[in-house]
Structure 1
Amino acid sequence: MSAHAHGPYDDAMSSGTDPADAHRSQQRAEARLDVAASVLALLADRTRLALLERLGRGEADVTTLTGATGAARPSVSQHLAKLRLAGLVTTRKDGRRVVYSLRHGHLRRLVDEALNVADHQIAHLPPHD
């Protein structure tokens, strides 16, 4: 073993990788975790999760989404604005209506998996007397 302390760039140097590339790679990895955590934080709200679950079945307007979630229309609009600003949903105009849809299928699969975990947890709850 060498006498010097093992630093964060020693592996990069020994493998022939530029230390700047190793640093950028670490920054990307950290940014990836930060973005994933923020997406999961948005999903941690029951109304937003219900909105995303409904949008996973196809695009919908605010009236449809209000009915699907049971939340008040102003609340639905606020949650949709957060999801839109986060880049998780997109909008398009259909006459005077604004129609929402999921930005990509990855989000639908993430919501589906979260709900599958919930189904599994519920199925294993002890029965109530």
Structure 2
Amino acid sequence: MLKTVVEMDKAATVFKLLGDKTRLMMVKLLENNTCCVCEFVEIFQASQPSISQHLRKLKDAGIVTEERKGQWIFYSLNQNYDHFGLIEKVLQQLPNQDHKLKELEEGGTRITCC
């Protein structure tokens, strides 16, 4: 198995982005799901501009991708990201957060924008 080494500055960038609890939880949620901004607004009880700012930072770094469906944008984890293996190793150490999306479903607010 070929082992990929991540340059220090690239690793520092990834850890800086994931060092924010909101972004870290977003990435963990996106590990197994595709989410819209409105879902993150509900989960984090934060403003849409605040959530969009977090997602923009993750997208600009290449950690997440977006797909437009009509007027809505859905985000997912970019498995083609150059340092996906590093992110994957971090995510393996974290508890599953899918219950937060289940709570939205049960409350009728999962994907409220669609």
Task: Establish whether TM, by shorter chain, passes 0.5.
Answer: yes
Which protein shows a greater Rg? 1
Question: What is the one-letter code of the residue matched to 2:11?
Answer: A
Point out where structure 2 has 5 or more consecutive residues left out of the alignment. Answer: 96-114
Give the total of aligned pairs. Answer: 86
* 1:74-85 correspondence runs (5 A): 74-85=49-60
Which residue does the alignment assign to 2:112? Answer: none
Tell me whether 1:39 sits opposite 2:39 in the alignment. no
Where does the alignment leave 5 or more consecutive residues of structure 1 unmatched? 1-28, 117-129
> Which has the bigger relative contact order, CA under 8 A and spacing at least 6?
2
CA RMSD of aligned residues (A): 1.9
Give the % identical residues.
35
Which deviations, in whole Å up to 9, do the C-alpha atoms of 1:83-107 show, x marking residues without a partner?
0001100001111100100001633
1:90 matched to 2:70:
no
State the partner residue of 1:57. 32
1:110 match: 90
Q: 1:57 to 1:67 in 2, by over 3 A?
A: farther
Higher relative helix content: 1
Q: CA deviation at 1:70?
A: 2.7
